[in-house]
Amino acid sequence: MARNPVQFQRGMSLAMFLQRYGSEEQCHEALISMRWPSGFVCPACAGCSHSYCKPRRLFQCSACGHQASVKAGTIFHRAKVPLTKWFLAIYLLAQSKNDISAMELMRQLGVRYDTAWLMKQKIMAAMLEANAAQKLDGDVQVDDSYLGGVRSGKGGRGSPNKVPFVAAVETRRDRPRRAQLRRLASFKETEVAQWAVIGVRRSANVVTDGFLPFEIFAKKGYHHNVVLAGSGRPKERTFHWVNTLLGNLKMSMTGTFHAIRRQHAHRYLAAFEWRFNHRFDLAGAIDALAQTLLTAKPAPYQCITFAEASG
Ligand SMILES: [Zn+2]
C-alpha cells in the first residue's frame, strides 16, 4: 500500500531537536539570528554598531547607548521560564498531530500547571497571528460549523452555547493544500463577509452548500458555486476535504480536552489550522513558530484571562 508522504515524513526527531536547541545558549543564539538576521539593529536609533555583554546577554548600541536583549519587546520578555523550555513547548505543540493538553505540557516541561497553560495560550496566540496573514485561493470548499455542539447538519444553528466558526479548505487537483478555521461572532452575512474579504482572495472559486449567509460570496464578486443535496451533483465528494478537516478537528478536540471555553476557542482553532498548514514541513515548522513568537505582540496574562482556563 502506498504510504502517505505527509504522515510518514521524518519531521524533526527529539534527538535532533535537542541537538539544536538543547542549551539555553543555543536557544538564545537561535533567537538572535531570527530577530537580527543581518546583525544587531538598535531598537531605539536603528544603529548597527554595538558591543555585546555575553554574561548578561545584552547588546549595547554604540551610537545612543541603548541596551537591548533579544527577548525585549517579545513574548519571551520578562518570562522566568528558560528558553529551552519555551523551545520544547514549541516543539511539542508544533509536532503533535492532535495537540497536547496543558496538563501534558506541564509534565513534559516540568513546570507548574498555570505556567504550562499560559505558555500554551501564548504559543497559540502567536499561531493565530501568523494565520491572519494567510489568504486562500484557487478552489476553496467552505462550510459552517460549531464547537460545543453537534456538527452543523444542520439543526441547532445558533444555539447560545455553541461557538460558530467557518471551515475552508483550498484544494489543488483534488488534494487539500491549506485550510482556515476561523471563529465568527455569528453567521450573519456581515460577519461571513468580514472573514471572506480577509481570508479568501477574490480570484478564488468558492463552493458552499445553500446556507444563506454564504450568498455574500457572489455579492462580493467571488466565483461562487452552490451545491445542494439532491441537485444531481455528488455533495459528499464536493465537500470531501472540508468534511475530513472537520472530522479530524472534532476527533482531536474530544481526544485531548474535556471542554474548551468559548473565550479560548479561536486560539484552539488557530492551533489546529497552523499545524495543518505546516504539515508538509514539520522540521521547518519549529523555526517558523519560534520566529512567529518572536515577532508576535507580547500577550500579557490579563489578555488571556487565566481565570477562565481549561484544557
Ligand atoms: Zn541606538
Q: What is the pLDDT of residues 187-245, one digit of tens each?
A: 999 999 999 999 999 999 999 999 999 999 999 999 999 998 666 656 677 899 999 99
Q: Among 77, 45, 75, 37, which Cα is nearest to 63's?
A: 45
The whole-chain average pLDDT of the chain stands at 84
Q: Which amino acid does the sequence have at 40?
A: F
Q: Among 147, 279, 144, which Cα is nearest to 217's?
A: 144
E strand residue ranges, the chain: 50-53, 58-61, 67-68, 139-147, 163-172, 175-183, 205-208, 223-226
CA of 64 to the centre of ligand 1 (A): 4
Q: Which CATH class is domain 139-283?
A: alpha beta
Pairing of strands 175-183, 223-226: unpaired
Residue ranges of domains in the chain: 36-72, 139-283
Q: Which amino acid does the sequence have at 143?
A: D
CA of 74 to the centre of ligand 1 (A): 18
- β-bridge mates for residue 225, sequence order: 207
Kind and range of the H or E element at 284? helix 282-295
CA of 228 to the centre of ligand 1 (A): 62
CA of 44 to the centre of ligand 1 (A): 5
CA of 30 to the centre of ligand 1 (A): 22
| pTM, entire model | 0.83
- β-bridge mates for residue 52, sequence order: 59
Q: With 90 as the cut, is the pLDDT of residue 78 above it?
A: no
Q: How far is CA 156 from the centre of its chain?
A: 28
CA of 45 to the centre of ligand 1 (A): 4
